[in-house]
Structure 1
Amino acid sequence: MHIDSPTPRPAFLAGERDQYGLSRYAVYRGSVEKPFHGVRALPSEHPRRRMHQEELLAERATFFATKMKPHSAFSHVTALALYGCPIVPGGALRDEVGRGGDLRGDGVLRGDESRRGGGSRGDGLLRRDSVRDDELLHVTVPFEASRPREPGVVGHRSRAAFSVRQVRGLPLVSPFTGLLQSSTMLSELELIVMADHFITQGAGGATVALEQLRRLASETSAGGAKRLRRALEHARVGAESRYETLLRLELVHRGFTDLEPQFVIHDDAGFVGRFDLVSRKRLAIFEYDGQQHRTNHRQYITDMQRLDRARLLGYRVLRFHFDDFAVGSRAIGTKLTQFDL
C-alpha cells in the first residue's frame, strides 16, 4: 500500500530496496531500521526521545501501513489518536477515572491526570515488552481476511462492514466506528472527551455532527454502544482542549447547568473576549489556562486585559491550570468554595 507519509521518514518494503539505491546488506544487516517484519525505514536524523507521543504513533502507523492489505484500517484508540483526539498516554481505561470511569460519585476527576494509564487488551494481541501500550497499533480487517499478527499490533476482524478514510495518507475507520470500537476500552469520561474533540475540532479537516453520532449510536447494539450513548448525551460543542471538557464536566457535576462554552462578552467599548465557560446566571467565568498562556508574553497581556474588562462588568473569574487536574476534583471544589460558588 502506497503511503503519503505524514512523517519525514517514509517506509518501504524490503523488496523495494533498489528504488532507494540500497544494497541487500544495507537492508538486511546494515543501519536501515526494521520496524516491522518486511518493512524498512531509513535512519532518523532526530532522536526519538525528542519526538512527541503523537509523532511516534504516526511514525509507527506510517511504517506498518506500508504492508497493510486493502480494505484494512487503523481502528479503536489508534484511529482516535491519529485523528488527533487528546488521549492521555496509555489510554484511560475503565476504572481509571472516578467510579468505573462513569459520571458518578463525589467528583468527575479522580486525580493525577498526568500519570493515568492502563493496558489495552484485545483479540489477537501479540506484543513485545519494548512496545508501550500507547504505541500499540490497532488494525481492523474484514471478517473474511486474516487479521495481522505481529509484535506491537492488535489485529481485529469485523463482521460489520466499515468505511475507510484516508487521513494524512493513513487508512482510518470513521470517527463513529472508532468511538464505538473504543467504547469497550475507554471510560465514559474519556469517550466524552473524544466526542467533544470530533464535534468541535473535527476529523480530517471536517467537524462531525453530534446529532449524527447520536443517531448512529442509537441504531447499533454492538458491544459498548450503551456506554457510548451515555457519553454522547454529555458531549457538547465548544471544548478546544481535553481540559476544557474535563472542567465543564466537573462543573456540571457540581450544579453549574447553565454553562455556555466559548461565550463572547461585549462591553460599551465593544468586544471583550471569548471565554472557555461562562455562567451568566452567576456572573462567573471559568478559564483553563494552557501552557501558551504562560509562555507567550503577548497572550499573557491579552488575557490580563480581557479578564480585567470582564471583572469590571461584574464577572468573577476562576482560572484553572494543569496542576488542578493533577490533584483532581478536590482542587476544583476548593477553588469554587473560595469564590463562594
Structure 2
Amino acid sequence: MEAQAREDGWVPRRDPLPEPLRRAPFALAQALALGVGTDRLRGGDLVRPFRGVRVARGGPPSLVRHCHAYARRMRDVEFFSHLTAAELWGVPLPTEWCDGADLHVSTVGPRRAAKARGVIGHQIFDERLVIATRYGLPLSDAATTWCHLAGSLSDDDLVAAGDHLVLTPARQVPRDPRPYCALEELTERVAAFRGRGSVRARRVIAQVRDGAESRRETLLRLRLLADGLPEPEIGVNVFDASGTWIARVDMIYPAWKVLVEYDGDQHRTSTAQYERDIRRLDDLREAGHRVVRIRNSTLAVAPRLVGHALRAAGAPV
C-alpha cells in the first residue's frame, strides 16, 4: 500500500511508535502487545534485521545495536561467541565489523545450534565456559573467547587480541574495569582448552603480555622480536633521577635507556595531544633516554631503527 501511495504522489501519515519502541530493537510480539497494528509494522521506516524483529531507521549501524536486535529473538540457551564476542570485548581484529555481517551465536552442549538468516550457529562442549554479560548482552567470557579466536586468527593477530584482554590500563574506566581476564587466568584457561585451535593457542599464549595499549604496539613488538632484537618491557612508567614521574612509555630497554614509541593517529588529529607528546619526549631525552618513534609508514624498518639505537647505546645486538 505504501509503495503504491508513493507512485500516486503521496505518502500516508505513519502513527508514531510507542516510546519503548523508538530507540531500541523490538520483537513483533512486543509491538502487538502495545497495540501497534500489523500494517504499521510493515512501514518503510522500520528495518527487519531478523525474522520477528524490527528496528526504527536512523542512526549509524553498530554491532551492539545489531546484537540487541538478534537478542529480541534469542533463546535462553544462546549467547554471542567467537568473532562477535571478541568484538563486543573490544578486541582489535584485522577487520572491523560491517553492517549486515553475520553474528556468531552459540549454545552449550547438545542443544540445537542457532539457525537464522545472518547468524552462524555453534555448539560448544566446554565445562569451563562462563556466560558473561556486556552491553546487556550474553557472551562467552573473555578467556574462552580468546581460545575460540585461535581457530581463525593468525599468530600475530591472536597475540594482539590476548594483549587487549589482559591489559591493565594506565587509567581505569569505572564502568568497564580491566583486565577482562588476567594473564595467569588466560594461561590456565588455554592449558585446559581442547577445542579447535588449541595447539595454536598453547603456542601463542607465551607471547601475550600485559602492557600494550593498542594492536599496533603489539605488532611492533612482535616485529622487533622476529628480527632477533631483545624483548622490551612494555607499558612502563619512567622517572627522572629525582624520582619524578615523566611518562608511561610504550616500550623500553631499561639497561640501555632506549625507548620505543608508536605514534598513532591522535598525533595527526589533535594539536594539543601532539604538543603534549613533544614536551614528554623532550623530558625523556633530557633524562638521558634515546627515543625511537615509529609510525605506520616506518613500521617495516622499525627493527633497523631500534637496532641502531640499541647499538649506539652499547647493547650487544
Q: TM-score, normalised by structure 2?
A: 0.81
User: Relative to 1, partners in 2 of residues 1:195 and 1:337: Cα closer, same or farther, differing over 3 Å?
Assistant: closer
Cα RMSD, aligned residues only: 2.5
Q: Structure 2: which amino acid aligns with 1:331?
A: V
Is 1:57 the counterpart of 2:29? The answer is no
Structure 1 counterpart of 2:191, from 189, 197, 218? 218
Is 1:176 the counterpart of 2:110? The answer is no
User: Relative to 1, partners in 2 of residues 1:31 and 1:306: Cα closer, same or farther, differing over 3 Å?
Assistant: closer
% of aligned pairs identical?
29
Q: What is the aligned partner in structure 2 of residue 69 from structure 1?
A: 75
Flag structure 2 segments of 5+ consecutive residues without an equivalent. Answer: 1-21, 170-174, 312-317
Q: What is the aligned partner in structure 1 of residue 302 from structure 2?
A: 332
* CA distance, structure 2, for counterparts of residue 157 and residue 283 of structure 1: 51
Flag structure 1 segments of 5+ consecutive residues without an equivalent. Answer: 1-7, 92-129
How far 1:169 sits from its partner (Å)? 0.3
* CA distance, structure 1, for counterparts of residue 276 and residue 304 of structure 2: 27
Is 1:206 the counterpart of 2:178? The answer is yes
Q: What is the aligned partner in structure 2 of residue 114 from structure 1?
A: none
* CA distance, structure 2, for counterparts of residue 167 and residue 158 of structure 1: 20
Is 1:315 the counterpart of 2:315? The answer is no
User: Relative to 1, partners in 2 of residues 1:163 and 1:337: Cα closer, same or farther, differing over 3 Å?
Assistant: closer
Is the Cα contact below 8 Å between 1:71 and 1:164 reproduced in 2?
no
Q: What is the aligned partner in structure 2 of residue 152 from structure 1?
A: 118
Higher relative contact order (CA 8 A, sep 6+): 1
Is 1:246 the counterpart of 2:219? The answer is yes
Is 1:33 the counterpart of 2:47? The answer is yes
Is the Cα contact below 8 Å between 1:72 and 1:164 reproduced in 2?
no
Per-residue CA deviations over 1:115-158 (Å, capped at 9, x if unaligned) read xxxxxxxxxxxxxxx976xx221000123322222222100112
Is 1:10 the counterpart of 2:16? The answer is no
Question: Rg bigger for which structure?
Answer: 2
Q: Structure 2: which amino acid aligns with 1:266?
A: F
Is the Cα contact below 8 Å between 1:26 and 1:32 reproduced in 2?
no
Is the Cα contact below 8 Å between 1:284 and 1:315 reproduced in 2?
yes
Q: Structure 2: which amino acid aligns with 1:11?
A: P
* CA distance, structure 1, for counterparts of residue 34 and residue 221 of structure 2: 51
Structure 1 counterpart of 2:239, from 242, 252, 266? 266
Per-residue CA deviations over 1:255-314 (Å, capped at 9, x if unaligned) read 333411122222246222111101122321111112222322222222111211221233
Q: What is the aligned partner in structure 2 of residue 97 from structure 1?
A: none
User: Relative to 1, partners in 2 of residues 1:29 and 1:301: Cα closer, same or farther, differing over 3 Å?
Assistant: closer
Q: What is the aligned partner in structure 2 of residue 197 from structure 1?
A: 164
How far 1:28 sits from its partner (Å)? 2.5
User: Relative to 1, partners in 2 of residues 1:197 and 1:340: Cα closer, same or farther, differing over 3 Å?
Assistant: closer
* CA distance, structure 1, for counterparts of residue 234 and residue 308 of structure 2: 23
Q: Structure 2: which amino acid aligns with 1:252?
A: L
**4+ runs deviating over 6 angstroms:** none
Q: What is the aligned partner in structure 1 of residue 93 from structure 2?
A: 87
Q: Structure 2: which amino acid aligns with 1:15?
A: A
